Amino acid sequence: MTKPRLCSFESRRASEMRSLIERQGADYFIAPSMREIPRESNHEALAYGESLTSGQIDISIFMTGVGTTALLEVLALKWPQETILDAWQKTLIIVRGPKPAAVLNKLGSRIDHRVPEPNTWRDLVALIYEKQIDLKGKSVAVQEYGKPSTDMYAALKDRGARLTTVPVYRWDLPEDIEPLKAAIQSTINGEYDALLFTSAQQAHHVLEVAHRMGVRETFLQAAQKTTIASIGPTCSETLEEVGLPASFEPEHPKMGPLVKETLARLIKKFEPDVETA
């Protein structure tokens, strides 16, 4: 059988994605679709630091590892790390997934609640309900991740939270979009068996570039003939919205299971009559 050919739009962890696919023996093309741009103004992050260190924050919610690290870098411009850690000890700390948890664990910060897989904002809100965390009248700060999660914010406000959002970075297209353009054209040419999406924003950027190329609808039609692999529910929702319905999500929302389960599906698709010994 010809090797399955995968296209991934991963950027920050492109090397890891490449390694995962190589170990599975598949062919691949990596087309970085995003870059994280620190906010030109850090007023919101510094304002959070002022409120935190003066005891005005009751709950801090960390959504991403990159964002947590970026926030700490901004806060370090004005406060010693020990001051921030001491202030966090006086608040309730919630992390959305393993990446922000890893950042805080490395610092020795206490973590009160970890959102279970698949780590969506809905899982975060469900955790708050399950643990009966009282938000009424509480000052809740949320580290944003690229794009405001308006539905989550509405849910927290419905529970009575006085919400503060702390944006520390935003997403933009890569400086070099030629690999992305090549991936779009190769998809149209039918050269890929599967497209791998590891974040919702990747879909928006891919379609933005396809629009610039004048092939958006052609790309959508071609992509729907492939296996569209989504890292998890949040990504799948966006894919559905933009016309790229996900073929499946892995059992665990991580890149390793995404690659393995994609290839397992492709093997079944290409060799439906093969019997296992």
* Residue 86 pLDDT > 80: yes
* Residue 274 pLDDT > 60: no
Token pair 């004048």 in the structure block, residue: 214
pLDDT at residue 208 in the model = 97
* Residue 271 pLDDT > 80: no
pLDDT confidence band for 8 (50 / 70 / 90): very high
Reported as a single tens digit per residue, the pLDDT across 91-104 is 999 999 898 999 99
As a whole number, the mean pLDDT across the chain is 92
Nearest Cα to Cα of residue 226 among 170, 178, 185, 188: 188
Pick the CATH number of 37-171 from 3.90.1170.50, 1.10.3720.10, 3.40.50.10090, 3.90.1860.10: 3.40.50.10090
Whether 6 and 14 have beta carbons less than 8 Å apart is answered as no
The answer for residues whose C-beta is within 8 angstroms of residue 198's C-beta and 6 or more apart is 8, 9, 10, 13, 17, 231, 235, 255, 258
pLDDT at residue 268 in the model = 81
Mean pLDDT across the stretch 145-154?
Answer: 84
pLDDT at residue 38 in the model = 76
Least confident of 140-144, 145-149, 213-217: 145-149
Sequence ranges of the domains in the chain: 5-34+175-270, 37-171
* Residue 87 pLDDT > 60: yes
CATH architecture of the domain 5-34+175-270 equals 3-Layer(aba) Sandwich (3.40)
* Residue 213 pLDDT > 70: yes
Task: Read off the pTM.
Answer: 0.76
